[in-house]
Amino acid sequence: LLFRPELEKNDNVLFKLWPEKEHSDRRPFRERGFYPYGGFEDFLGQASIETHKVYDAEVVKAGGTSASVRMWADYYGNRMEKIFTLDGGSPLLEVRFALEFRNPELNMLGPQPILALGEKHWTEDVFVVPSKAGLREVRMRPEEYFGEVFFLKEGWNAGRDTVEDVSFVGAFPVSEPEFLHMWMNHPSNGESAHYYAEFQPWVPIFQKTVRYFSYYLWAAAGPWEKGLEELRRRNLVTTAK
């Protein structure tokens, strides 16, 4: 989770349920459905394959200018590795994937943070997507869940809680995903009875080789434009050709 250092409470930009239980936790065959643990989600073969997987983990770097944790798991002969690297001098977090898959039915990855900016996800949160049709602004609708597909001009999406003045920017290579899928969740969702937002780059998985993909997260107080500028300065924002 990405925490705001100026807040006394554990308010942050990511939705988190764990270690609490979902209201449907004791439902028969619950393990076959999506489970909203929160944080950073892989969205691989939902829900029965990816949701409840426990990863091995080790600290690979714990000092200097950054800290890194490597996590890995086996999905029936398909290996996924993730390295989380937190920059020591900024709120930049890198998630680097390495997928070595064999099964052709596991052909798409949707890596994304589950967003709940500030104290809660609500109408004061505005989200921005650089679509090929122009810059799009989206807000949640309290009465329903809904989604949309965006084809991107640049590889990023952003959000800001306009009341608490906290923002988030996610960045990734724009040439890698097929599209960006937005999902505004609603408590009427039987698998996940919560308000939150998702912006998933749908990344094709190539079999019988190693598939690499990196996702960058930036969260801080202030406008999202400032975070986007910091990512541009680090050459982490790419433009579609």
**DSSP string covering 124-138, please?**
TEEEEEEETTEEEEE
What's the whole-model pTM score? 0.92
Residue 131 has what pLDDT? 98
Which SS3 state, helix, strand or coil, does residue 165 take? coil
pLDDT at 48: 56
**Is pLDDT at 7 greater than 60 in this prediction?**
no
In the DSSP assignment, the letter for residue 30 is: G
Q: Which pair of tokens denotes residue 70?
A: 């490597």
Calculated CA dihedral for residues 192, 214, 139, 219, nearest 10 degrees: 100
Q: Span 228-240, mean pLDDT?
A: 98
Question: Does position 47 have pLDDT exceeding 60, yes or no?
Answer: no
Domain segments of the chain as ranges: 12-233
pLDDT the model gives residue 1: 40
**For residue 10, is pLDDT > 70?**
no
pLDDT tier, 5 (very low <50, low <70, confident <90, very high otherwise): very low
Percent over 90 (pLDDT), the chain:
74
Look at 4-13, 95-104, 130-139, 144-153 and tell me which has the smallest mean pLDDT.
Answer: 4-13
Q: What is the pLDDT of residues 144-190, one digit of tens each?
A: 999 999 999 999 999 999 999 999 999 999 999 999 999 999 999 98
- Give me the pLDDT at residue 36, please: 84
What pLDDT, on the 0 to 100 scale, is given for residue 45?
Answer: 66
pLDDT above 90: residue 97: yes
- Taking a C-beta distance cutoff of 8 angstroms, is the pair 106, 78 a contact? yes
pLDDT, position 22: 87
CATH second-level architecture of 12-233? Distorted Sandwich (2.70)
Eight-state DSSP code of residue 241: -
pLDDT for 60 beyond 80: yes
Report whether pLDDT(52) > 60. yes
Spatial distance between the Cα atoms of 58 and 80, rounded to a whole number of angstroms: 14
Rounded to an integer, the average pLDDT of 123-132 is 98
**pLDDT above 70: residue 46:** no
DSSP assignment letter at 225: H
